[in-house]
C-alpha cells in the first residue's frame, strides 16, 4: 500500500486534520482485498434481530473479535467506503419513528435557510452534510433515521454525506451490527419503538404534530420554543406569507407530501417481516460506536465467515482487540 506522501504529497511540514485523515482512510480502504461474502453468513451464528443476538453475550464477544484467529486473514474483511448522494435515494432499515422527534428535526433542518442559527450537533450549517450513519451496500441506513426522515420531508434532493458505507447488504449487515452492539454495549435489545414508519410519514400524522407546534410553540424545541421563529421557519419553507394557522399548515403539508412522494420510505424486510426498533443495532455516533464498528469490519476483526476461530483463542484476543484494530487502520492509511 502506498504511503500518504506517495498518494497525496503529504510531508513532514504539512499538517492534516483528523477529518482529512479519516477521509483518506475511507478512500484507501476501498483497495483492500474484500473476501467476506454475505451469502456465507450463518443466521444461527449471527441472528438478524438484536433480541436474538443478545441471548448469549459470551458468544457475541467471541464472534466480534475472532476474525483474525480463524486461520484466514482476509475471509472476514468487509470493505468500507464513503457514500455521498441525495438523501431521498437512501432507504430505512427500521420500521419505527418518533413522530415528535421527527417533526422537531424537520423544523431544525429548516432553521438556517430561514435565516436563524442552526442547532449545535443537528444541521448546524443547514440541511445536508453528514447524517452520522452506516449505509449498507444496497443503500439502507442502519441508524440516523430521524435525520434522514427530516431531510426527506425538507427536500429529498438534499445532498448528504460523506457517510460510512459497508460492502454488505442490509439484512446481513443488520445481523453483524447487532452482534457488534452486544459486544460493545452489552445490550440485549434495541431502543423502544414508537410509531410505525408508514403511520409516522402519513399526512394526517405529520399534519397533526405540526399543528400541535402551531397551537403550542413552546413545545417545539427546534424553533427555540418561539412562536415568531416557528412562523418564520414554516413561511420560508412553504413560500407562504400566512400567519400560523390552517392556510400556512396547508402550504407546508403540500410541500412535505410532494417531497415524501419522491423518497424511498419502505423499510427493509425479510421472511419474518419488517424490523422493530427493539431488534435493530444500537450504535451511537457520539459514543464512537459507528466508527468503531466500521474499523472492526474493515480490519476483519468480526468472524463473519467460516472458518471460525476456536473459543479460547477468541477469548484471549478480546484483551488486545482495540490495539489490533487501530494497528490495522494505521497500516491502511500508510502511516506505519
Per-domain residue ranges for the chain?
4-46+76-174+187-294
Are β-strands 140-141 and 91-92 bridged in parallel, bridged antiparallel, or unpaired? parallel
Please tell me the pTM assigned to this model. Answer: 0.80
Residues in the chain: 336
pLDDT digits (tens, 9 = 90+) for 29-70: 444 444 789 999 998 889 899 888 766 778 888 888 888 767
Whether 36 and 76 have beta carbons less than 8 Å apart is answered as yes
Find where cell 459486544 sits.
183
pLDDT digits (tens, 9 = 90+) for 218-262: 999 999 999 999 999 999 999 999 999 999 999 999 999 999 999
Local structure of 313: helix, strand or coil: helix
- What residues does 165 pair with on adjacent strands? 81, 135
| Percent residues over pLDDT 70 in the chain | 81
Q: Give dist(CA 5, CA 23) in Å, integer.
A: 15
| Percent residues over pLDDT 90 in the chain | 54
Whether 305 and 37 have beta carbons less than 8 Å apart is answered as yes
- What residues does 92 pair with on adjacent strands? 141
Q: What are phi and psi of 254, to 5 degrees?
A: -60, -45
Q: Give dist(CA 329, CA 198) in Å, integer.
A: 40
Q: Give dist(CA 67, CA 246) in Å, integer.
A: 58
Helix, strand and coil percent figures for the chain, each rounded to 5: 50, 10, 40
pLDDT digits (tens, 9 = 90+) for 107-165: 999 999 999 999 988 999 999 999 888 999 999 999 899 999 999 999 999 999 999 99
Grid cell locating 266: 419502505
- Chain CA centroid to CA 187, Å: 18
Amino acid at each position: 500500500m502506498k504511503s500518504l506522501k506517495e498518494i497525496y504529497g503529504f510531508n513532514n511540514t504539512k499538517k492534516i486534520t483528523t477529518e482529512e485523515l479519516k477521509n483518506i482512510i475511507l478512500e484507501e480502504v476501498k483497495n483492500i482485498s474484500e473476501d467476506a461474502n454475505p451469502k456465507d453468513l450463518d443466521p444461527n451464528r449471527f441472528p438478524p434481530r438484536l433480541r436474538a443476538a443478545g441471548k448469549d453475550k459470551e458468544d457475541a464477544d467471541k464472534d466480534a473479535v475472532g476474525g483474525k484467529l480463524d486461520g484466514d486473514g482476509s475471509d472476514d474483511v468487509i470493505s468500507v467506503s464513503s457514500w455521498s448522494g441525495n438523501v431521498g435515494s437512501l432507504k430505512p432499515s427500521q420500521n419505527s419513528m418518533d413522530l415528535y422527534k421527527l417533526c422537531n428535526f424537520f423544523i431544525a433542518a429548516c432553521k438556517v435557510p430561514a435565516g436563524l442559527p442552526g442547532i449545535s450537533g443537528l444541521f448546524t450549517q443547514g440541511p445536508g452534510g453528514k447524517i452520522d450513519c452506516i449505509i449498507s451496500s444496497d443503500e439502507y441506513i442502519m441508524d440516523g433515521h430521524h435525520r434522514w426522515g427530516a431531510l426527506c420531508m425538507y427536500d429529498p434532493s438534499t445532498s448528504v454525506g460523506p457517510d460510512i458505507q459497508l460492502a454488505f447488504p442490509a439484512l446481513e449487515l443488520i445481523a453483524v451490527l447487532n452482534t457488534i452492539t452486544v459486544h460493545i454495549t452489552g445490550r440485549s435489545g434495541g431502543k423502544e419503538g414508537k410509531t410505525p414508519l408508514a403511520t409516522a410519514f402519513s399526512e394526517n400524522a405529520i399534519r397533526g404534530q405540526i399543528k400541535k407546534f402551531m397551537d403550542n410553540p413552546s413545545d417545539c424545541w427546534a424553533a427555540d420554543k418561539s412562536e415568531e421563529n416557528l412562523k418564520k421557519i414554516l413561511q420560508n419553507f412553504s413560500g407562504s406569507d400566512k400567519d400560523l394557522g390552517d392556510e400556512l399548515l396547508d402550504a407546508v403539508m403540500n410541500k412535505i407530501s410532494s417531497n415524501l412522494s419522491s423518497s424511498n420510505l419502505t423499510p427493509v424486510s425479510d421472511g419474518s417481516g419488517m424490523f422493530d426498533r427493539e431488534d435493530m443495532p444500537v450504535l451511537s455516533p457520539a459514543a464512537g460506536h459507528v466508527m468503531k464498528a466500521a474499523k472492526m469490519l474493515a480490519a476483519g476483526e468480526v468472524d463473519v465467515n467460516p472458518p471460525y476461530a476456536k473459543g479460547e483463542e477468541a477469548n484471549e484476543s478480546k484483551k488486545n482487540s482495540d490495539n489490533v484494530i487501530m494497528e490495522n487502520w494505521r497500516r491502511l492509511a500508510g502511516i506505519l
